Structure 1
Amino acid sequence: MVARGWSPSERTRIGFYLAVGLLLVLNPFLVQAYDLGESRYEYQAYDVKLTENDFHFEDRSRVFLLSGVSGVDCDYWSEPWHCYLEERVAPGDVTVDSIQYHQSPPSKYVHFDDGFYRRHVERDDESTTISYDPVTAEAVAANVSLDVESAPEPLAEAVRQGSATSLRRIEMGYLVRDGDRYYYAGRSGSTDGFTGRWALSFIGTLLGLAMLAEAGQLSFERQSRDE
Protein backbone atom coordinates (compact mmCIF):
# COMPACT_ATOMS: atom_id res chain seq x y z
CA MET A 1 0.00 0.00 0.00
CA VAL A 2 1.37 3.41 -1.01
CA ALA A 3 1.14 6.25 1.50
CA ARG A 4 -0.92 9.32 0.64
CA GLY A 5 1.07 11.73 -1.51
CA TRP A 6 3.93 9.29 -1.80
CA SER A 7 4.45 7.68 -5.23
CA PRO A 8 6.97 5.06 -6.43
CA SER A 9 8.46 7.67 -8.79
CA GLU A 10 9.22 9.99 -5.85
CA ARG A 11 10.77 7.13 -3.93
CA THR A 12 12.93 6.31 -6.94
CA ARG A 13 14.02 9.92 -7.37
CA ILE A 14 14.98 10.27 -3.72
CA GLY A 15 16.90 6.98 -3.80
CA PHE A 16 18.68 8.03 -7.00
CA TYR A 17 19.66 11.43 -5.60
CA LEU A 18 20.91 9.86 -2.37
CA ALA A 19 22.98 7.14 -4.09
CA VAL A 20 24.53 9.33 -6.81
CA GLY A 21 24.93 12.30 -4.49
CA LEU A 22 26.79 10.23 -1.91
CA LEU A 23 29.02 8.74 -4.61
CA LEU A 24 29.88 12.20 -5.94
CA VAL A 25 30.59 13.55 -2.46
CA LEU A 26 32.95 10.65 -1.81
CA ASN A 27 34.63 10.85 -5.23
CA PRO A 28 37.83 12.59 -3.96
CA PHE A 29 38.49 9.58 -1.74
CA LEU A 30 37.94 7.24 -4.69
CA VAL A 31 40.24 9.31 -6.90
CA GLN A 32 42.93 9.14 -4.24
CA ALA A 33 42.46 5.46 -3.39
CA TYR A 34 42.48 4.22 -7.00
CA ASP A 35 44.83 6.90 -8.45
CA LEU A 36 42.23 7.83 -11.03
CA GLY A 37 43.56 10.23 -13.65
CA GLU A 38 47.24 9.62 -12.76
CA SER A 39 49.89 9.07 -15.44
CA ARG A 40 50.87 5.45 -15.93
CA TYR A 41 54.21 4.15 -17.14
CA GLU A 42 54.89 1.01 -19.11
CA TYR A 43 57.99 -1.14 -18.65
CA GLN A 44 59.48 -3.97 -20.68
CA ALA A 45 62.21 -6.50 -19.91
CA TYR A 46 64.52 -8.13 -22.46
CA ASP A 47 66.90 -11.04 -22.17
CA VAL A 48 70.57 -9.97 -22.27
CA LYS A 49 73.45 -12.18 -23.37
CA LEU A 50 76.93 -11.17 -22.23
CA THR A 51 79.71 -11.29 -24.80
CA GLU A 52 83.31 -10.41 -24.01
CA ASN A 53 82.79 -6.68 -24.51
CA ASP A 54 79.10 -6.05 -25.07
CA PHE A 55 75.52 -6.61 -23.91
CA HIS A 56 73.80 -8.53 -26.68
CA PHE A 57 70.08 -8.51 -27.50
CA GLU A 58 68.82 -11.19 -29.86
CA ASP A 59 66.60 -8.70 -31.69
CA ARG A 60 67.76 -5.18 -30.88
CA SER A 61 65.14 -3.66 -33.22
CA ARG A 62 62.42 -4.73 -30.77
CA VAL A 63 64.11 -3.21 -27.71
CA PHE A 64 62.64 0.10 -26.56
CA LEU A 65 65.55 2.49 -26.16
CA LEU A 66 63.99 5.24 -24.05
CA SER A 67 66.64 5.10 -21.34
CA GLY A 68 70.19 3.94 -20.83
CA VAL A 69 71.71 1.47 -18.41
CA SER A 70 72.15 2.76 -14.89
CA GLY A 71 75.85 2.75 -13.99
CA VAL A 72 77.10 2.95 -17.60
CA ASP A 73 77.77 6.17 -19.52
CA CYS A 74 78.20 6.64 -23.26
CA ASP A 75 76.16 3.54 -23.97
CA TYR A 76 73.91 2.57 -26.87
CA TRP A 77 71.12 4.88 -25.77
CA SER A 78 72.83 8.23 -25.29
CA GLU A 79 76.13 9.71 -26.42
CA PRO A 80 76.65 13.26 -25.16
CA TRP A 81 79.51 15.23 -26.65
CA HIS A 82 82.00 14.42 -23.88
CA CYS A 83 81.77 10.72 -24.79
CA TYR A 84 83.48 11.38 -28.13
CA LEU A 85 86.33 13.08 -26.30
CA GLU A 86 86.60 10.27 -23.77
CA GLU A 87 86.68 7.65 -26.51
CA ARG A 88 89.76 9.35 -27.97
CA VAL A 89 91.55 8.88 -24.66
CA ALA A 90 90.61 5.27 -23.85
CA PRO A 91 92.53 3.18 -23.10
CA GLY A 92 94.86 5.49 -21.27
CA ASP A 93 94.54 8.71 -19.31
CA VAL A 94 94.43 12.45 -19.66
CA THR A 95 95.44 15.17 -17.20
CA VAL A 96 94.10 18.71 -17.24
CA ASP A 97 95.38 21.67 -15.21
CA SER A 98 92.11 22.26 -13.48
CA ILE A 99 90.41 21.30 -10.24
CA GLN A 100 86.94 22.30 -11.45
CA TYR A 101 85.99 18.66 -11.58
CA HIS A 102 84.39 18.90 -8.15
CA GLN A 103 82.54 15.60 -8.34
CA SER A 104 83.42 12.34 -9.97
CA PRO A 105 81.07 11.19 -12.76
CA PRO A 106 78.14 9.22 -11.31
CA SER A 107 78.89 6.16 -13.46
CA LYS A 108 82.03 4.10 -12.98
CA TYR A 109 81.80 2.57 -16.42
CA VAL A 110 81.67 3.80 -20.00
CA HIS A 111 80.92 1.90 -23.19
CA PHE A 112 82.61 2.69 -26.49
CA ASP A 113 82.57 0.91 -29.82
CA ASP A 114 85.40 -1.40 -28.78
CA GLY A 115 84.00 -2.33 -25.38
CA PHE A 116 83.66 -1.31 -21.75
CA TYR A 117 86.07 0.73 -19.65
CA ARG A 118 86.24 1.60 -15.98
CA ARG A 119 86.64 5.31 -15.47
CA HIS A 120 88.96 6.57 -12.71
CA VAL A 121 89.19 10.18 -11.57
CA GLU A 122 92.08 11.45 -9.46
CA ARG A 123 92.53 15.02 -8.26
CA ASP A 124 95.25 16.95 -6.52
CA ASP A 125 95.65 20.62 -5.72
CA GLU A 126 96.44 21.61 -9.29
CA SER A 127 95.07 19.07 -11.74
CA THR A 128 92.57 16.33 -12.52
CA THR A 129 93.51 13.02 -14.13
CA ILE A 130 90.94 10.77 -15.78
CA SER A 131 91.99 7.26 -16.81
CA TYR A 132 90.23 4.39 -18.54
CA ASP A 133 90.92 0.70 -17.99
CA PRO A 134 89.31 -1.97 -20.18
CA VAL A 135 86.91 -4.35 -18.43
CA THR A 136 84.71 -7.20 -19.59
CA ALA A 137 80.96 -7.02 -20.03
CA GLU A 138 80.61 -9.69 -17.35
CA ALA A 139 82.48 -7.54 -14.80
CA VAL A 140 80.31 -4.54 -15.63
CA ALA A 141 77.10 -6.55 -15.37
CA ALA A 142 78.12 -8.00 -12.02
CA ASN A 143 78.76 -4.52 -10.62
CA VAL A 144 75.85 -2.50 -12.02
CA SER A 145 73.02 -5.05 -12.03
CA LEU A 146 70.29 -5.31 -9.43
CA ASP A 147 69.01 -8.57 -8.05
CA VAL A 148 65.39 -9.07 -9.06
CA GLU A 149 64.37 -9.24 -5.39
CA SER A 150 65.78 -5.75 -4.70
CA ALA A 151 64.88 -4.10 -8.00
CA PRO A 152 62.12 -1.45 -8.08
CA GLU A 153 58.77 -3.20 -8.25
CA PRO A 154 57.85 -2.20 -11.85
CA LEU A 155 61.19 -3.53 -13.12
CA ALA A 156 60.97 -6.72 -11.07
CA GLU A 157 57.46 -7.35 -12.39
CA ALA A 158 58.62 -6.70 -15.96
CA VAL A 159 61.39 -9.29 -15.53
CA ARG A 160 58.96 -11.86 -14.15
CA GLN A 161 56.06 -11.13 -16.52
CA GLY A 162 57.76 -9.56 -19.56
CA SER A 163 56.00 -6.21 -19.07
CA ALA A 164 54.49 -4.08 -16.33
CA THR A 165 52.45 -0.90 -15.81
CA SER A 166 52.97 1.37 -12.83
CA LEU A 167 52.31 4.84 -11.45
CA ARG A 168 56.02 5.09 -10.66
CA ARG A 169 58.28 6.79 -13.18
CA ILE A 170 61.81 5.36 -13.37
CA GLU A 171 64.06 7.37 -15.65
CA MET A 172 66.95 4.96 -16.17
CA GLY A 173 66.94 1.42 -17.42
CA TYR A 174 68.63 -1.25 -15.31
CA LEU A 175 70.32 -4.56 -15.73
CA VAL A 176 68.39 -6.96 -13.50
CA ARG A 177 69.79 -10.31 -12.44
CA ASP A 178 67.47 -13.26 -11.91
CA GLY A 179 69.47 -16.33 -10.98
CA ASP A 180 72.21 -16.69 -13.58
CA ARG A 181 70.35 -14.67 -16.23
CA TYR A 182 70.45 -10.96 -16.96
CA TYR A 183 67.65 -8.77 -18.26
CA TYR A 184 67.49 -5.18 -19.40
CA ALA A 185 64.40 -3.58 -17.84
CA GLY A 186 63.33 -0.05 -18.64
CA ARG A 187 60.50 2.30 -19.44
CA SER A 188 58.91 1.67 -22.82
CA GLY A 189 56.11 4.24 -22.86
CA SER A 190 53.51 6.09 -20.84
CA THR A 191 49.88 7.14 -20.73
CA ASP A 192 49.28 10.76 -19.80
CA GLY A 193 47.11 11.47 -16.79
CA PHE A 194 44.30 14.01 -16.54
CA THR A 195 45.77 17.23 -15.16
CA GLY A 196 42.38 18.68 -14.16
CA ARG A 197 41.23 15.66 -12.19
CA TRP A 198 41.09 17.43 -8.82
CA ALA A 199 39.16 20.40 -10.23
CA LEU A 200 36.68 17.99 -11.79
CA SER A 201 36.54 16.06 -8.53
CA PHE A 202 35.71 19.27 -6.64
CA ILE A 203 32.91 20.08 -9.08
CA GLY A 204 31.59 16.54 -8.61
CA THR A 205 31.57 17.04 -4.84
CA LEU A 206 29.53 20.25 -5.17
CA LEU A 207 27.11 18.50 -7.50
CA GLY A 208 26.83 15.62 -5.02
CA LEU A 209 26.01 17.99 -2.17
CA ALA A 210 23.34 19.61 -4.35
CA MET A 211 21.81 16.19 -5.09
CA LEU A 212 21.79 15.23 -1.40
CA ALA A 213 20.12 18.55 -0.61
CA GLU A 214 17.50 17.88 -3.30
CA ALA A 215 16.88 14.41 -1.84
CA GLY A 216 16.43 15.95 1.58
CA GLN A 217 14.01 18.54 0.21
CA LEU A 218 11.92 15.88 -1.57
CA SER A 219 11.80 13.77 1.59
CA PHE A 220 10.73 16.79 3.66
CA GLU A 221 7.94 17.61 1.19
CA ARG A 222 6.72 14.01 1.33
CA GLN A 223 6.58 14.06 5.10
CA SER A 224 4.71 17.40 5.01
CA ARG A 225 2.07 15.91 2.71
CA ASP A 226 1.67 12.87 4.94
CA GLU A 227 0.94 14.94 8.03
Structure 2
Amino acid sequence: MKNKMLYFIICSLGLAYFTGCKKSEYLTDGGLSVGKTPLTTYDYLKQHKYHLFDTLVMVIDHYNMKEEVNGAATFFAPTNYSINSYLKIKRDSVRRIDENNNYNLTDMYKDISADSLRIYISKSRITLMTAPLQATIVNNAANTQTAFQRILQPKPAESWSSAPIYYLYYIKVRGALDPPNVVAQPNDPNVDLKAQCQTTDIEPSSGGMLHVLSNNHTFIRF
Protein backbone atom coordinates (compact mmCIF):
# COMPACT_ATOMS: atom_id res chain seq x y z
CA MET A 1 0.00 0.00 0.00
CA LYS A 2 2.87 2.36 0.90
CA ASN A 3 4.44 1.74 -2.52
CA LYS A 4 1.19 2.53 -4.26
CA MET A 5 0.76 5.71 -2.23
CA LEU A 6 4.35 6.79 -3.00
CA TYR A 7 3.78 6.10 -6.70
CA PHE A 8 0.60 8.18 -6.63
CA ILE A 9 2.35 11.11 -4.92
CA ILE A 10 5.24 11.07 -7.42
CA CYS A 11 2.85 10.99 -10.38
CA SER A 12 0.80 13.84 -8.93
CA LEU A 13 3.88 15.99 -8.37
CA GLY A 14 5.09 15.25 -11.89
CA LEU A 15 1.73 16.19 -13.38
CA ALA A 16 1.61 19.40 -11.34
CA TYR A 17 5.13 20.32 -12.51
CA PHE A 18 4.29 19.64 -16.16
CA THR A 19 1.07 21.64 -15.91
CA GLY A 20 2.87 24.49 -14.19
CA CYS A 21 5.54 24.59 -16.91
CA LYS A 22 2.94 24.60 -19.68
CA LYS A 23 1.05 27.40 -17.93
CA SER A 24 4.22 29.39 -17.45
CA GLU A 25 5.12 29.01 -21.11
CA TYR A 26 1.64 30.13 -22.06
CA LEU A 27 1.78 33.19 -19.82
CA THR A 28 5.26 34.21 -20.89
CA ASP A 29 5.05 37.26 -23.13
CA GLY A 30 7.26 36.89 -26.16
CA GLY A 31 7.28 40.66 -26.59
CA LEU A 32 6.15 42.70 -29.57
CA SER A 33 6.01 40.85 -32.86
CA VAL A 34 8.77 41.82 -35.27
CA GLY A 35 7.60 42.98 -38.68
CA LYS A 36 11.01 42.77 -40.30
CA THR A 37 11.86 39.83 -42.55
CA PRO A 38 15.21 38.91 -44.12
CA LEU A 39 13.34 38.12 -47.34
CA THR A 40 12.65 40.53 -50.17
CA THR A 41 9.03 41.41 -50.89
CA TYR A 42 8.92 38.96 -53.81
CA ASP A 43 10.58 36.13 -51.88
CA TYR A 44 8.29 36.69 -48.90
CA LEU A 45 5.28 36.23 -51.17
CA LYS A 46 6.80 33.24 -52.96
CA GLN A 47 7.94 31.46 -49.81
CA HIS A 48 4.84 32.08 -47.69
CA LYS A 49 4.36 28.93 -45.61
CA TYR A 50 0.62 28.80 -46.27
CA HIS A 51 1.06 29.48 -50.03
CA LEU A 52 -1.30 32.43 -49.75
CA PHE A 53 0.25 34.25 -52.71
CA ASP A 54 1.04 31.51 -55.24
CA THR A 55 -1.34 32.92 -57.86
CA LEU A 56 -0.14 36.47 -57.23
CA VAL A 57 3.46 35.36 -57.80
CA MET A 58 2.39 33.80 -61.12
CA VAL A 59 0.89 37.14 -62.16
CA ILE A 60 4.04 39.01 -61.09
CA ASP A 61 6.19 36.57 -63.07
CA HIS A 62 3.98 36.83 -66.14
CA TYR A 63 4.49 40.59 -66.31
CA ASN A 64 8.16 40.41 -65.27
CA MET A 65 7.45 42.69 -62.33
CA LYS A 66 9.67 41.12 -59.68
CA GLU A 67 12.00 44.13 -59.49
CA GLU A 68 9.08 46.57 -59.47
CA VAL A 69 7.50 44.75 -56.55
CA ASN A 70 10.79 44.60 -54.66
CA GLY A 71 11.37 48.30 -55.31
CA ALA A 72 7.90 49.41 -54.23
CA ALA A 73 7.68 52.01 -51.48
CA THR A 74 4.54 50.15 -50.40
CA PHE A 75 2.94 47.05 -51.88
CA PHE A 76 -0.64 46.09 -51.05
CA ALA A 77 -0.65 42.36 -51.80
CA PRO A 78 -3.87 40.69 -52.96
CA THR A 79 -4.08 37.02 -51.96
CA ASN A 80 -4.96 33.97 -54.05
CA TYR A 81 -8.56 34.37 -52.85
CA SER A 82 -8.74 37.87 -54.32
CA ILE A 83 -7.53 36.78 -57.74
CA ASN A 84 -9.70 33.66 -57.72
CA SER A 85 -12.70 35.84 -56.89
CA TYR A 86 -12.03 37.91 -60.00
CA LEU A 87 -11.65 34.75 -62.11
CA LYS A 88 -14.94 33.39 -60.78
CA ILE A 89 -16.79 36.59 -61.66
CA LYS A 90 -15.44 36.47 -65.20
CA ARG A 91 -16.10 32.73 -65.48
CA ASP A 92 -19.70 33.14 -64.38
CA SER A 93 -20.09 35.94 -66.92
CA VAL A 94 -18.92 33.91 -69.91
CA ARG A 95 -20.91 30.88 -68.81
CA ARG A 96 -24.09 32.89 -68.94
CA ILE A 97 -23.40 33.05 -72.67
CA ASP A 98 -22.40 29.40 -72.98
CA GLU A 99 -22.32 27.02 -70.01
CA ASN A 100 -19.28 25.28 -71.50
CA ASN A 101 -17.18 28.43 -71.55
CA ASN A 102 -14.27 28.81 -69.14
CA TYR A 103 -12.09 31.63 -67.89
CA ASN A 104 -8.62 31.16 -66.42
CA LEU A 105 -5.37 33.03 -65.87
CA THR A 106 -4.45 32.84 -69.54
CA ASP A 107 -7.72 34.58 -70.41
CA MET A 108 -7.15 37.16 -67.70
CA TYR A 109 -3.73 38.04 -69.13
CA LYS A 110 -5.46 38.87 -72.42
CA ASP A 111 -7.92 41.21 -70.70
CA ILE A 112 -5.67 43.12 -68.32
CA SER A 113 -2.25 44.73 -68.45
CA ALA A 114 0.64 45.08 -66.00
CA ASP A 115 -0.93 48.34 -64.86
CA SER A 116 -3.68 46.30 -63.22
CA LEU A 117 -1.06 45.01 -60.80
CA ARG A 118 0.67 48.38 -60.54
CA ILE A 119 -2.50 49.73 -58.89
CA TYR A 120 -1.26 47.94 -55.76
CA ILE A 121 2.18 49.57 -55.84
CA SER A 122 2.17 52.85 -53.95
CA LYS A 123 4.81 55.49 -54.56
CA SER A 124 4.73 56.49 -50.86
CA ARG A 125 5.82 54.56 -47.78
CA ILE A 126 2.63 53.76 -45.86
CA THR A 127 2.39 52.35 -42.34
CA LEU A 128 -0.66 51.65 -40.23
CA MET A 129 -0.03 54.13 -37.42
CA THR A 130 1.12 56.98 -39.65
CA ALA A 131 -1.84 56.64 -42.02
CA PRO A 132 -4.32 59.55 -41.76
CA LEU A 133 -7.75 59.15 -40.20
CA GLN A 134 -9.31 60.75 -43.27
CA ALA A 135 -8.98 59.15 -46.69
CA THR A 136 -6.01 60.68 -48.50
CA ILE A 137 -4.99 60.36 -52.14
CA VAL A 138 -1.75 58.46 -52.76
CA ASN A 139 -0.01 58.02 -56.11
CA ASN A 140 0.37 54.51 -57.45
CA ALA A 141 2.59 53.05 -60.16
CA ALA A 142 -0.36 52.78 -62.58
CA ASN A 143 -1.10 56.52 -62.25
CA THR A 144 -4.71 55.88 -61.25
CA GLN A 145 -6.65 57.32 -58.33
CA THR A 146 -6.11 55.46 -55.05
CA ALA A 147 -6.18 56.53 -51.42
CA PHE A 148 -5.47 55.11 -47.98
CA GLN A 149 -6.95 55.56 -44.53
CA ARG A 150 -6.65 54.35 -40.93
CA ILE A 151 -10.06 53.61 -39.40
CA LEU A 152 -10.78 53.17 -35.70
CA GLN A 153 -12.76 50.01 -34.99
CA PRO A 154 -15.63 49.74 -32.50
CA LYS A 155 -14.48 48.13 -29.27
CA PRO A 156 -16.17 44.78 -28.50
CA ALA A 157 -18.15 44.72 -25.25
CA GLU A 158 -16.01 41.87 -23.91
CA SER A 159 -12.71 43.57 -24.77
CA TRP A 160 -10.09 43.35 -22.00
CA SER A 161 -7.87 46.09 -23.40
CA SER A 162 -8.47 49.82 -23.55
CA ALA A 163 -6.04 50.24 -26.46
CA PRO A 164 -7.66 51.53 -29.66
CA ILE A 165 -7.81 49.15 -32.62
CA TYR A 166 -7.20 50.52 -36.11
CA TYR A 167 -7.40 48.88 -39.54
CA LEU A 168 -5.62 50.11 -42.64
CA TYR A 169 -7.69 50.49 -45.81
CA TYR A 170 -6.57 50.84 -49.41
CA ILE A 171 -9.12 52.68 -51.50
CA LYS A 172 -9.99 52.69 -55.18
CA VAL A 173 -11.20 56.22 -55.91
CA ARG A 174 -14.00 56.49 -58.44
CA GLY A 175 -14.46 60.04 -59.67
CA ALA A 176 -13.58 62.45 -56.86
CA LEU A 177 -12.56 61.29 -53.40
CA ASP A 178 -15.67 60.78 -51.28
CA PRO A 179 -16.20 63.52 -48.67
CA PRO A 180 -15.65 62.32 -45.08
CA ASN A 181 -18.64 61.21 -42.98
CA VAL A 182 -20.95 61.05 -45.98
CA VAL A 183 -23.07 57.90 -46.24
CA ALA A 184 -22.94 56.59 -49.81
CA GLN A 185 -26.14 55.57 -51.54
CA PRO A 186 -26.50 51.86 -52.39
CA ASN A 187 -25.22 50.95 -55.87
CA ASP A 188 -23.77 54.41 -56.38
CA PRO A 189 -21.34 53.93 -59.32
CA ASN A 190 -19.16 56.78 -58.06
CA VAL A 191 -18.69 55.61 -54.48
CA ASP A 192 -15.10 54.80 -53.55
CA LEU A 193 -14.30 51.14 -52.88
CA LYS A 194 -12.33 50.20 -49.77
CA ALA A 195 -10.16 47.12 -49.26
CA GLN A 196 -9.20 46.30 -45.70
CA CYS A 197 -5.72 45.02 -44.85
CA GLN A 198 -5.65 41.81 -42.84
CA THR A 199 -1.91 42.11 -42.12
CA THR A 200 0.09 45.33 -41.99
CA ASP A 201 3.61 46.71 -41.58
CA ILE A 202 5.73 43.85 -42.89
CA GLU A 203 9.21 45.24 -43.63
CA PRO A 204 11.01 43.19 -46.31
CA SER A 205 14.78 43.35 -46.70
CA SER A 206 14.32 44.95 -50.14
CA GLY A 207 12.93 48.05 -48.44
CA GLY A 208 9.48 49.57 -48.47
CA MET A 209 6.40 48.23 -46.71
CA LEU A 210 4.21 45.23 -47.40
CA HIS A 211 0.54 45.00 -46.43
CA VAL A 212 -1.75 42.04 -47.13
CA LEU A 213 -5.28 42.77 -48.29
CA SER A 214 -8.27 40.89 -46.92
CA ASN A 215 -9.26 37.63 -48.61
CA ASN A 216 -12.65 39.26 -49.28
CA HIS A 217 -11.03 41.78 -51.60
CA THR A 218 -11.62 41.15 -55.32
CA PHE A 219 -8.58 41.65 -57.53
CA ILE A 220 -8.80 44.89 -59.58
CA ARG A 221 -12.49 45.36 -58.79
CA PHE A 222 -12.09 46.01 -55.05
- Report TM bin, short chain: under 0.3
What TM-score results when the alignment is normalised by the length of structure 2?
0.26
Higher strand share: 1
Higher helix share: 1
